[in-house]
Amino acid sequence: MSVGVLARGLSFPAPVVARALPFAVFIGLMAVEPWLAAQLGGVIDPRWFYGIRSAVVASLLYVFWPSFTELTAARHLSIREFGLALAAGLMVLGIWLLLDSGIFVLGQSGSGFEPRAADGSIDWSLALMRLAGSALVVPLMEELFWRSLIMRWLDEADFLAVDPARIGLRAVLFSSIAFGLEHSQWAAGMLAGLVYGWLYVRSGNLWIPIAAHAVTNAGLGVWVLATGAWYFW
């Protein structure tokens, strides 16, 4: 199915659908996973639902890929830009690890995603599935939604016409607040949104916040696997 055919079947403009639908599907599938676990718990390990969710979203991103001109037409990252993304991603990782309790967390921390087998050892198929989804699929999906769509749309409804370098402070702040409230670690999420938003405004290249976001999520995954702090997942 082509991008145009899929988008015409929905009531929103195609550029909005392309950037919002993968995110909406990811959140929607996450919301129904407890019900699916109750229905299919005896058939499939519920932990694999994360991989299914990531695969569905990755498929949508592939279908819509030709419409992501902010990515397909972007220049390759220079060594300096890659270093900036790496430094920013590690800084956000540090923030995430520090602001993980008390008033900085919405609700109670759960047990998280534990990729352990019955004997207590790590099931590496589960661990690598989770790591790939969080480090490869999620940064691409979220940056297309929060930075490319929402942050620019807050400046102008015709968001594709908005030059990232001209995005106003109000749009950066409001999108970062919303991004933070998407996460249980709301304070770390808001600061992460500000960092990723600043990278997009400063560079005009969405690949840079995507790379920084990927560094953060990959680093967090390595930390979780090394320390057993499953609640971060």
- Confidence (pLDDT) at 164: 97
- Confidence (pLDDT) at 67: 96
* Residues of the chain falling short of pLDDT 70: 1-12, 41, 109-110
- Confidence (pLDDT) at 111: 75
Question: Do 70 and 77 touch, CB atoms closer than 8 A?
Answer: no
**Predicted TM-score of the model (pTM):** 0.93
Query: What would the pLDDT profile of 168-201 be if each residue is shown by its tens digit?
Result: 999 999 999 999 999 999 999 999 999 999 999 9
- Confidence (pLDDT) at 133: 98
